[in-house]
């Protein structure tokens, strides 16, 4: 397995639920030499509904689906897990796999920063922010999101299948 794999477990911070069962997985430089292959790899492994763009500069999460982000160009600092979460420095070729409920926001980026995002089975993500009135329903939804059958980078093998217990 690629030694450039990191995992981070995030706690519920009271505003952002994060995911209490599944870690965030970071694949460092996995597409560094071929950033144009990111979207095709995601789609080939059934992570579809893909889009290209940036990362919002406010905390948000998706309670109904997991999300994968591959850095196509540039670099950025993103904060995952809420205000007390983890700062990640990401750059071209890196991939971040965010389990349902994981808060994320961009802190700063280079002018050319661009990511490709996708979802297992092309699920349309909902948009949740720090809203206590959403919490109970969001937690129930997060716990019901199934683990995908394929790792977005490696397909039928890969760290997601190990770390997420598939």
Whether 32 is in a domain gets the answer: yes
Whether 118 is in a domain gets the answer: yes
Range of the domain at 64: 5-160
67-73, strands of its sheet edge to edge: 5-8, 24-27, 95-98, 67-73, 114-120, 47-53
Q: How far apart are CA 14 and CA 68, in angstroms?
A: 24
Q: What percent of the chain has pLDDT over 90?
A: 90
- Among 155, 154, 157, 150, which residue's Cα sits nearest to residue 66? 150
Whether 82 is in a domain gets the answer: yes
- As for how many domains the chain has, the answer is 1
Whether 36 is in a domain gets the answer: yes
pLDDT score of 3:
59
Whether 86 is in a domain gets the answer: yes
How many helices, marked H, and strands, marked E, lie in the chain?
Answer: 3, 9
Whether 165 is in a domain gets the answer: no
Half-sphere exposure at residue 25, Cβ-oriented, CA atoms within 13 angstroms: 24
- Among 43, 74, 61, 49, which residue's Cα sits nearest to residue 153? 43
pTM reported for the whole predicted model: 0.95
CATH number (domain holding residue 76): 2.60.120.10
Whether 29 is in a domain gets the answer: yes
Summarised one tens digit per residue, pLDDT across range 29-84 is 999 999 999 999 999 999 999 999 999 999 999 999 999 999 999 999 999 999 99
Whether 166 is in a domain gets the answer: no
């Amino acid at each position: 397995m690629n030694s450039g794999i990191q995992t981070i477990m995030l706690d519920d911070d009271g505003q952002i639920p994060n995911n209490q069962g599944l870690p965030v997985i970071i694949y460092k430089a996995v597409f560094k030499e071929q950033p144009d292959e990111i979207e095709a790899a995601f789609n080939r492994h059934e992570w579809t509904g893909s889009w290209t763009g940036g990362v919002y500069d406010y905390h948000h999460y998706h309670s109904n689906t997991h999300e994968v982000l591959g850095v196509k160009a540039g670099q950025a600092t993103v904060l995952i897990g809420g205000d007390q979460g983890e700062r990640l420095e990401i750059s071209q070729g890196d991939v971040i796999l965010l389990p349902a409920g994981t808060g994320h926001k961009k802190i700063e980026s280079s002018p050319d920063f661009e990511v490709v995002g996708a979802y297992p089975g092309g699920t349309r993500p909902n948009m949740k922010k720090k809203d206590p009135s959403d919490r109970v329903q969001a937690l129930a939804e997060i716990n019901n999101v199934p683990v995908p059958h394929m790792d977005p980078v490696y397909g039928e093998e890969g760290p997601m299948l190990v770390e997420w217990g598939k």
